[in-house]
Structure 1
């Protein structure tokens, strides 16, 4: 109560203060009165109305009338006026004050309303802009608008590019007769109705009385309503998103101020819808890219045709194309239809289309062409096969997306619409991104298929090679046995006395046949190891025996080169569980290499012992050594070190590979330590045989 009385008290005090000031001024100037007192009090009434409101201003005006009689009119007994002039002055002042108070009141109320709307817009604008969901944006706009403009019917139309019509997506009725009307049945073309006219002109339209406007369109069976209608298009970056339409009962119930406010809301709504659309398109792009990523090229369970259909469907979902075709390069050098689809493509229809040659797609395979947008009816660059097919299908717009991997043109996608279509650069960019990812997926799959075919062919060649080695080894054994038998008879003299030169030749023949027999045995063992046809004959044994026998076999070669071989084996047994023949062959290879790769007389050391539950065997030479770059390839099949010093050294490159196969087959490992010019040391570690083995 006190808060309501205070403004009135302040107004009366202000009148008293001003009246006293004017009276003092008149007394000081020796004037009967201040003639401009009316103007002063009118201005005072306006100031009070602006600051304190209309009620205190009226009270101040009444007080002003009383003060005027006593201070500014000729003094007399009682309240009243002496002359007509005084009466006119007083009445004129009261009327002027009343007019000023009313004007200030209206202006103040208008300013308060504008400030309220501004505050509300600042409050709701972030909610509209920040949302990325179209439905949430529409609900927020409807809720925000009613807080700013007291509408009685709210309608939001979205522009449907495919149907080329405005479709009602949000309707809020807050009064009769709007509540009982079904506005969903009304769709508008550009220029149709007040809403369609606003959309066509891209400018807001305020109709004072829609019942008198011939452009107004009502649902069937609805009589014209006396209402004021405001339609504002939602446009951003010259693109139409829809129209906001407000209605309020009674003519001229909406104002130009309402129009300006709705322009701001419509602009923000258009921007928010554009952001939501781009977010949805980006989300769809990510989804399509993820779908392509899931098509693993190594997944043989997914047929190629199914992968092609999924790729095309991802592009259709993103572009909403009516018709779509995917063509890919095949082994015959032509581009075949791999998949066809689209929103208007008949279900279960078979993909058709003749294969295209490189010349027929040359306009699209040019590396400078990243995307090709065409109007089939007017584009003269389209080849006959593309233009003819588009015309038969009633296509109004088309996009062709080349699919490249580097400079390799692997195919293309054709997207078509049966209506005019305009594309934003970011939309085309997303389609290009998806097409590029699809090209990589398809090319990777084709490459893996080619590599798989090569691998199968190589595997078949390897199998044939092993089979040949096995057969050849078996076939060479018999003639070698015969040759060695007769050479042995000749050496022993069983077939008669041989002259000294012939005896030397016989010894050379025996040595070379022994080398050949060893090579044949290595080839046969390698074939058996790789095929697994002949399992090793595993048994407990003392590795010292196997090593001693291998040393005895290589001693003649060492002595022939005037070298030396030192054997240092542990006094205790070196028990292992293995195949003595295969282990012996592996040691033969290491010892023979030590002899061959010594520049001068070979100096070889063989050391064997038992340590930490493992059998350690080292074959060390002081030969030419092995380059660092060659060590990681040393145990590969058919690998030979490239060294000018080894040009006259014979070999097949399977010896060390065979050593590794044998050692690893016994649960061990083999390593090498070498330095150029100082020699090499091959270390073999084997597990110790337990009593249960």
Structure 2
């Protein structure tokens, strides 16, 4: 299946069976960790043959324990190329009607979200404006009301921007970002200070190496805002939330880690879909649109990078953004 002889395979790390992108995300070791913790890992993914060809595979990895000690793993791989081709041919005739239904559902969610959630900031702005009109001779209060109006309109503007960007991503369009030289460390430190005011001193920033590069500062701020907001919403209260930045050659690894309820493996592939909320998010009582992680993925990919989620018992949940140090060379839609 993978074209290696027994002699060529014995003694080699099994990461050689993963494509370059998978190894950059450390998928091979992640799958072993899942198997070691849960007893077994099962999933579909892209693998690589000796000649460089890629194929879709069903992979099952089982941990082997002797007297409670992990001694190794067994791995079973099935080539899904033929099955995938048959499924695609079977589903081709259904694709148009399915897409129409999906587009209709998306439009409904878009309009419902826009009309419902915009009411709150607009109502706050209107109330402030009415108070200014009624009491124009109270300058201190007028300044306070004007500040509230500005904050409310800023929230409304951010909502609209997020929804429009989510719509572009749903349509398969890239995000247009301005790329310039910036430093991630002060950006992360500023967010840490802002969040500490509302949620206490539980946020930490760790740095390994140079943190400057050519990116969209506004875009990466939105990435960190969304990831940190999720960590606050769904992480364990009072436990630390950590932003780590580590430079590896010409890549920057930006991670946000928190402790708390893990994200089930079956939910992880859907995390970055627009308007998708996991069962954990739905039952948590936390409000959300389900577009924050979709925006994270869109912004990271617009930088020529990738984003992945890892969630394990005791280890917590970690989102890692892997982006080039100089995103000006990214093939995605960037205004430089």
Query: TM-score, normalization: structure 2?
Result: 0.55
For 1:566, the equivalent position in structure 2 comes to 204
Count of aligned positions? 237
For 1:539, the equivalent position in structure 2 comes to 180
- 1:569 and 1:446 map into 2 onto residues whose CA distance is 50
Q: 1:457 aligns with which of 91, 100, 118?
A: 100
For 1:633, the equivalent position in structure 2 comes to 270
- 1:665 and 1:644 map into 2 onto residues whose CA distance is 27
User: CA 1:592 to 1:507, structure 2 compared with 1: closer, same or farther past 3 Å?
Assistant: farther
User: CA 1:456 to 1:689, structure 2 compared with 1: closer, same or farther past 3 Å?
Assistant: closer
For 1:313, the equivalent position in structure 2 comes to none
- 1:620 and 1:487 map into 2 onto residues whose CA distance is 44
| Equivalent position SS for 1:625 | coil
Q: Give matches, 1:389-400, under 5 Å.
A: none
Matching of residue 593 in structure 1 with residue 230 in structure 2: yes
- Structure holding more strand per residue: 2
- 1:534 and 1:472 map into 2 onto residues whose CA distance is 24
Q: Give matches, 1:100-499, under 5 Å.
A: 449=93, 451-458=94-101, 460-461=103-104, 464=107, 468=111, 479=122, 482-483=125-126, 486=129, 495=138
How far did 1:536 drift?
2.2
- Residue by residue, what CA displacement relative to the aligned partner does 1:11-41 show, whole Å, maximum 9, x if unpaired? xxxxxxxxxxxxxxxxxxxxxxxxxxxxxxx
How far did 1:525 drift?
2.5
- 1:653 and 1:596 map into 2 onto residues whose CA distance is 13
How far did 1:535 drift?
2.4
1:522/1:585 contact within 8 Å kept: no
Query: TM-score, normalization: structure 1?
Result: 0.29
How far did 1:662 drift?
1.3
User: CA 1:527 to 1:448, structure 2 compared with 1: closer, same or farther past 3 Å?
Assistant: closer
- Residue by residue, what CA displacement relative to the aligned partner does 1:304-356 show, whole Å, maximum 9, x if unpaired? xxxxxxxxxxxxxxxxxxxxxxxxxxxxxxxxxxxxxxxxxxxxxxxxxxxxx
- 2:157 and 2:289 map into 1 onto residues whose CA distance is 14
Matching of residue 522 in structure 1 with residue 162 in structure 2: yes
Q: 2:250 aligns with which of 585, 599, 613?
A: 613
1:476/1:520 contact within 8 Å kept: no
- 2:125 and 2:101 map into 1 onto residues whose CA distance is 36
- 2:245 and 2:102 map into 1 onto residues whose CA distance is 39
- Residue by residue, what CA displacement relative to the aligned partner does 1:549-592 show, whole Å, maximum 9, x if unpaired? 43344333322xxx41111235634203x332222212110011
Measured on the aligned residues, the alpha-carbon RMSD in Å equals 4.7
In the alignment, structure 2 segments of 5+ residues that lack a partner are: 1-87, 330-335
1:594/1:602 contact within 8 Å kept: no
Report which of the two structures shows the higher radius of gyration computed on alpha carbons: 1
- Residue by residue, what CA displacement relative to the aligned partner does 1:113-133 show, whole Å, maximum 9, x if unpaired? xxxxxxxxxxxxxxxxxxxxx
For 2:292, the equivalent position in structure 1 comes to 655
1:674/1:680 contact within 8 Å kept: yes
For 1:550, the equivalent position in structure 2 comes to 191
- 1:481 and 1:682 map into 2 onto residues whose CA distance is 34
2:125/2:149 contact within 8 Å kept: no
| Equivalent position SS for 2:276 | coil
- 1:534 and 1:587 map into 2 onto residues whose CA distance is 17
- 1:631 and 1:595 map into 2 onto residues whose CA distance is 18
